Every structure is written in C-alpha cells, then in structure tokens.
Chain A
C-alpha cells in the first residue's frame, strides 16, 4: 500500500536571500557577484544560474534574487556591499522569503494547478525561472536539471501556501520533508 508519493515537498530552511539591482551590462556588478557568490548573473530574461551553494534568478532587466545555502543574510549583504563599487543596490531579504523544493513525478501537475503559467518542460526546461501568479498569491518558480522545481515565495504566505500545496498534491500522494 505504500506507493512512492507523486509529489515530495522539502523545505530549505538554510537559505539566505539577497535582492540585487543594477545595470546588467556593468562589469563591476557582474564581477562583484562572481567574487562573492561564485556565479554569473543571468542576463537572459527568465533564466537562472547556479554554482556550488549559490543560485541567481532573473527577476527583471536590472534585478536578481541571489540565494546562498548555509550563509548569514546580513553577512552576505555586507560582503556584496564591500565588493560593489557603483550605482548598485543590495538588500538582505532573508526574512521575507521561503524556499521549497518540489519533486516527484507529479510536481509539475501541482504547479499547473496553482498558476496560469505554462510549466510544461517543453516551455519551461531546466534553467528557466518565472515569477507568476501562484494560487491567490505569487511565487518564483525555477526548473532544475534533476526535474524538480525550486519555489520561492513570501514568508507571510507560507502557512497558506503549504496548506494549498498539501491539498493540491493530495490526489497524487504527498510527502512533506
């Protein structure tokens, strides 16, 4: 009777988040982020890059969300500020964000129930990310190489969205880790 769940949701409590803004063509910005987070800011709309413990998601033509594992949010902001020299903005937004991993064969179906965005792998292959309507709120969703999805949303909606996901995924079998 214990079939593997169609959807597995894992909270990622060890992530810190920084909002970074500036001219995407400015080498000073790109070098500073590369130095601190070890990755290149994605310039292609709707894409994300990752390094060992960092990810950078495109939010807009001059805005990114930087996510680092096992760091300290304020310390990350300070390291970025120290490395940046120019008209750029960095803000630690760790307190405002929650990140989940949604995996399992039916994870995409749960996303599709939750949003008008087309998460089909043909349209949304690994390396893509999108901010969109998610249930009655909004989320940033990113497609990963392993077929799972990273989902980032506001902490104040966490209780609501966790209940939403559990309900939406119930018919496929749901496990929260």
Chain B
C-alpha cells in the first residue's frame, strides 16, 4: 500500500484514492500520419520498463482528479519524488 503525496492537494493520501496512468514523459509525435506503422507502434506500446527508478504518471482519481508525476523505484517500490506535469523530474530521487 502506497502513501502518495498529491502535489495539488498537498497532502499524503492513501493509494486507493489514486490510479496509475503509465510511464511519464512520452511525447506524442507531432505528425502521427507521417510515421511508419513500426514508429507508431513504438510510440504506442514500447516502454522502458526499468529495474530501479521509474518516472510514471498517477491521477488522484478519488480526490482532485489531477494528473502528476511520480519517480518510483520498481524494485523497492519506494516513492523517490513527486512532481507536477510540466515540471522536470529530479535527477536523483529525493522526495
């Protein structure tokens, strides 16, 4: 069970209020129709799936309903940092 700090509510809330929303920082291609099927498939489906720190999106579904980013260690499950959409992820995780 995670305890997640929502950067909008500015409170630590229980995991059941949140939903996971996939890997963060994947830009949508500017001109999708110019891509090959392989390139479009890459954008849609290929993820880094790292062992260790992972930058991911969460949404505060039962709370403010806003999206934000989380830097989470996929081995220890430790949440290293939380930051807003539009902000750059911290280099090393420091919550």
Contacts and interface: CB of A to CB of B under 8 A. Distances in A.
Contact of B14 (A45, A116, A131): A116
B16 A131 contact: no
Contacts of A59: 64-65
A49 interface: no
Given A45-B8, A46-B9, A60 B14 contact: no
A89 interface: no
Given A46-B10, A46-B11, A117-B13, A132 B66 contact: no
Determine which residue in B10, B13, B64 has the highest number of CB atoms from chain A within 10 A of its CB, and name it. B64
A133 B11 contact: no
Contacts of A138: 62
A116 B12 CA distance: 11
A61 interface: yes
Interface residues of A, number: 13
Interface in A110-166: 116-117, 130-133, 138
Nearest to B65: A60
Interface string B56-74: 0000001111100000000
B17 A132 contact: yes
Contacts of B13: 116-117, 132
A133 B66 contact: no
A46 B8 CA distance: 9
Interface in A37-69: 45-46, 59-61, 63
Contacts of B8: 45, 60-61
Interface in B43-95: 62-66
Nearest to B18: A133
